[in-house]
Amino acid sequence: MRHAALAVVLESDYGLKAGLARTLDAGSFAVDAAPPLAEPPGVPGRGAAPPLVPHLAIRQRSVRTPEGRAALIHALAHIELNAIDLAADAVWRFAGMPDDFYRDWARVAAEEALHFCLLRDHLATLGHDYGDFPAHSGLWDMARRTRHDVLARMALVPRTLEARGLDASPAVRQKLLAAGDADGAAIIDIILRDEIGHVAIGNRWYRWLCAQRGLDPVAAYAPLAAAHGAPRLRGPFNLEARRAAGFDQEELTLLDQP
């Protein structure tokens, strides 16, 4: 499974990447108990498009125009493509974890691939394909910063970056509905449902790792966030989704503090 996950990360054809990711959860792979695998060049695999630019260089467009709606769907597809690689990277990169860790993240990779395919198909109905718009260059940065520590990865990818997606989903869904895009809004519903589970998996393994290292999960988070340059969390927060994903009341209360 870990070798197959590395193949997902290295694949540069986006359709093939999604297809390979969806097979990770098929049950045909044994969990590979091999020691750490050497990282080859080309991680993650990317095609010539879309052009990757700094976040501030992304042009903001009104979702009430067809072009603006397509740009929003494209941005969401880009997030989901990176999410495929982040989940598959957790499978191949970190040796010595329990078998369920690899099975959990293989399932996440497969679900992220489904999200990418749904968004790409919807983008086609708007006359575009993935790669037609510039995309944010920073989404893989946290994977690089946390590549040497599985605890930091669990703290700062599912519990931080993906949890921000839980917060953003209601506003994105409302924008699409206001623009008359009911099909796009329905895809957001699917993504939110699955992402609650993904963040819950991150919470599960973060707390397991904290227990293994004798750390308090709440107290350990802030130093990890500071050490790896995690983005500052800003509201509004989707507290209902965060509770469903396993954040406890102490963690939710801390969200409103500097």
pTM: 0.95
pLDDT at 32: 63
Domain 2-47+62-254 has CATH 1.10.530: no
pLDDT at 34: 65
User: Is residue 140 within 8 Å of residue 79, measured between CB atoms?
Assistant: no
159-182 pLDDT, tens digit each: 999 999 999 999 999 999 999 999
52-95 pLDDT, tens digit each: 888 777 888 889 899 999 999 999 999 999 999 999 999 999 99
DSSP symbol at 233: P
Please give the share of the chain, as a percent, with pLDDT higher than 90: 83
Domain extent listing, the chain: 2-47+62-254
| Separation of alpha carbons 236 and 75, rounded Å | 20
Question: Can you tell me whether residue 25 is helix, strand or coil?
Answer: coil
Which residues make Cβ contacts (< 8 Å) with residue 218, sequence separation at least 6? 250, 251, 254
